[in-house]
Amino acid sequence: MQIESADLCPFGSLRGRPVTQIRLTDGPCSAEILTYGAALRSLTVPDPTGKPVDLVLGFDTVEDYVNQDCYIGAIVGPVANRIGGAACLVNGRALALDPNEAPNCLHSGLAGFDKAIWTVESASDRAVTLSHVHPDGLGGIPGDLRVSVTYTLAGRCLRIDYRAVSDRDTICNPTNHSYFNLNGHESGSVEGHSVCIHAARFTPADAAGIPTGEILPVARTPMDLRQPKPLRAGLSAEYAQLRLARGYDRNWAPDGAGFRRIAAVCGDRSGIRMTVWTDRPGVQFYTGNFLPAPLPGKSGAVYGPRAGLCLETQAFPDAPNHAGFPSIALKAGEIWTSRTEYRFDAAE
Ligand code: GAL
């Protein structure tokens, strides 16, 4: 482990194992990351007047993290989102995944990345690399999958770099499940935020959130967020894809390929804008529809439905079961890497 001038402190313990918090700072910005779930616990940036605002939902104790099932701040994987029937094929071999949202598998089941205590590989004042081995067969996923995630704070940008390698052919599609509230994590509903997703197409899904396999145009639907739109306007629309999920909770296919800007969100009260950049083919835009109420959060905050929104960069949900979706297959020995950035500035 390489630790230079890093700020590490005990956060608690789980089944006798310590959980550590790593604090990153760069000028007026800071971020706190936990070894439990490699979760982003706080992300503080100044608003246009210079006042620090903590933009992500989080908790004060390990127990609070363990006792919720909303994946708050965590790295989820090996395979994010849903696999229909908790079943798919890898090299023609049927996998039986964990049907934790029966009959489907959500975020890799009950032993996914979000439940693991990760190892600190290296840490400095601006970056931390955490690693984890997801053992062969756990949750039905083949191969010892060695994964690492590096969080880097670079000015008003939080970068997340992923790296994974498996010793057997497998499937790999991790994401980060932070809930952002650009008015501040404790400020209530995000319904006043404006949202823009640079995507002409999205993947519709059934009532259980399993994609139909279609990739449909957003044009003339409330899924068209190509121009910034107040969330409240979209959320109140009578549209089956919104009603089925109690709000936004679908995968968009952002335009273009390679590392590009895919979304922008503005806090209506803070004047803080977040832009999202990634090399992934998809993004799950989720408006916290299933957050329970009341959900006690950090520093006395109380969360509930729509207390935060997620922009989970990913390949499309249920990809192995849809030939038309980009593949999430990972060959044995192949090194898979990916980058996502959340950048902050003042709303225009
Ligand atoms: C999201 C998913 C939602 C919900 C949430 C966790 O990624 O799209 O449907 O399951 O995770 O509560």
Delineate the domains of the chain, giving CATH numbers in brackets. 2-346 (2.70.98.10)
Separation of 85 CA from ligand 1 center, angstroms? Answer: 16
Q: How much is the pLDDT for 6?
A: 79
CB atoms within 10 A of CB 244: 16
Over 90: is that where the pLDDT of 2 sits? no
Q: How much is the pLDDT for 244?
A: 96
Provide the pLDDT confidence category of residue 289 given band limits of 50, 70 and 90: very high
Bridge partner residues of 273 (DSSP): 266, 345
| C-alpha to C-alpha distance for 35 and 261, rounded to whole angstroms | 29
Percent of the chain clearing pLDDT 90 (strictly above):
98
Q: Give 104-109's long-range contacts (Cβ < 8 A, gap of 24+).
A: 104/208, 104/209, 104/210, 105/79, 105/139, 105/140, 106/81, 106/82, 107/71, 107/76, 107/77, 107/79, 107/80, 107/81, 107/177, 108/76, 108/77, 108/78, 108/79, 108/80, 108/139, 108/141, 109/139, 109/140
| C-alpha to C-alpha distance for 135 and 170, rounded to whole angstroms | 12
| C-alpha to C-alpha distance for 157 and 154, rounded to whole angstroms | 5
∠ CA(157), CA(158), CA(162), 5° rounding? 135
* Each residue's pLDDT tens digit, 173-222: 999 999 999 999 999 999 999 999 999 999 999 999 999 999 999 999 99
Residue to mutate (ligand 1; options 71, 72, 175, 318; most atoms within 8 A of CB): 71
Separation of 131 CA from ligand 1 center, angstroms? Answer: 24
| C-alpha to C-alpha distance for 231 and 283, rounded to whole angstroms | 17
Are the beta carbons of 171 and 78 closer than 8 angstroms? Answer: yes
Would the pTM count as exceeding 0.85? yes
Ligand 1 binding residues, C-beta < 6 A: 70-71, 81, 106, 209, 249, 284, 286, 290, 312
- Residues forming the active site: 177, 312
Distance from first CA to last CA of the chain, Å, rounded?
A: 42
